[in-house]
Amino acid sequence: MKIAIVSACSAGIASTYMAAESLELAAKKKGHTVYAETQGTIGIENAISLKDAQLADIVIIARDIKIQGMERFKGRKIIEVGVAEAIRKADLIIERAEKEVIGK
Amino acid sequence: MLFLYQIQCKELDDLSMEIAQLLDPKLIRFQMESQEKWGAINELIDLLAAEKRVESSEKMLEAVRQREAEVSTGVGFGIAIPHGISDTVIQPSIAFGRSLKGIEYDSIDQKPVTLIFLLAIPKTQHNQDYLRTLAGLARMLVHKPVIEKLFTASTFEDVLEVFQSEKQR
């Protein structure tokens, strides 16, 4: 499964990256391919291209603030969670993503 | 796959060196006295002030307060990463505290904090490098082996080693 992740927290200094890393770890543990973009104070890193965005089976948005470039994901299945939730419950969120895609 | 792994090694190797520049043995307290959020944050700010990393403790506290007012930086798993960007920061720094008893922190998961990293960031246009290091540190803090090793670290070198050895994962 291809999972696209975008995270952004209010300060953009630490939580954004913890959320991205948590989700990435949880997804890789289950053998998924992951694209994880962070939108923080240092700008956008590991930016997900339109092509990769459209190839994603599911998009996980972990945010406390508005995400830039949501139009890339038009037509994709999207799960939205809070940043704190992403850090604490990454495994559960990935399970939820699997269910959405496989339709279990 | 192997290629990707090597890239990751390099990044993490650099990370521990960068963290070494922001941390200092005098900015670490392995046994925090305070068992309450603001007491603990003040305890770490005092370390920064004593080492002349910040000019004014009050201004640093204010910057941290502003950030905490948005969302608590007690992110769960017993970890807190309070931080402040302020012109009172003389030298970008990380202060690290550990509490075996736990600190009541108003964490997102309501659990007490055992590992607390206070990040002091200067208010300049040129703080991108530090912010990148802090982002790297934050990423490491969701890895269970890192948390476990920080819990048993007893020297400055041990702490750096945690971030160094994680490259072998």
Which CATH number do you get for residue A36? Answer: 3.40.50.2300
Q: Please pick, among A3, A5, A9, A97, the residue that the annotation labels catalytic.
A: A9
ipTM of the complex: 0.88
Instruction: Give how far A17 is from chain B: nearest CA, Å.
Output: 5
Size of interface A-B (CB pairs under 8 A): 72
Strand-pairing partners, residue A37, are A6
Pair of tokens at residue B87: 């012109």
pLDDT at residue A61 above 60? yes
Compare CB distances from A14 to B70, B77, B81 and report the shortest one's residue: B81
What does the angle CA B107 – CA A12 – CA B168 come to, to the nearest 5 degrees? 80
B71 to chain A, any CB pair closer than 8 A? The answer is: yes
Compare CB distances from A22 to B131, B136, B142 and report the shortest one's residue: B142
Question: What integer pLDDT is reported at residue B10 of this predicted model?
Answer: 47
Structural domains in chain A (count): 1
Q: pTM for this structure?
A: 0.86
Q: Regarding the domain delimited by B25-168, which CATH topology (the fold level of the hierarchy) does it fall under? A: Mannitol-specific EII; Chain A (3.40.930)
Compare all CA atoms of chain B with the CA of A64 and give the residue at the minimum distance: B71
Ranges of H-type helices in A30-82: 50-55
β-strands A78-81, A58-63: how paired? parallel
Query: pLDDT tens for residues B56-94?
Result: 999 999 999 999 998 888 988 899 999 999 999 999 999
DSSP output for B106-163? --TT-PPEEEEEEEEEE-STT-HHHHHHHHHHHHHTT-HHHHHHHHH--SHHHHHHHH
In this prediction, what percent of chain B has a pLDDT beyond 90? 67
- Is there a contact between B75 and A87 (Cβ–Cβ < 8 Å)? yes
Provide the domain limits for residue A53: 2-102
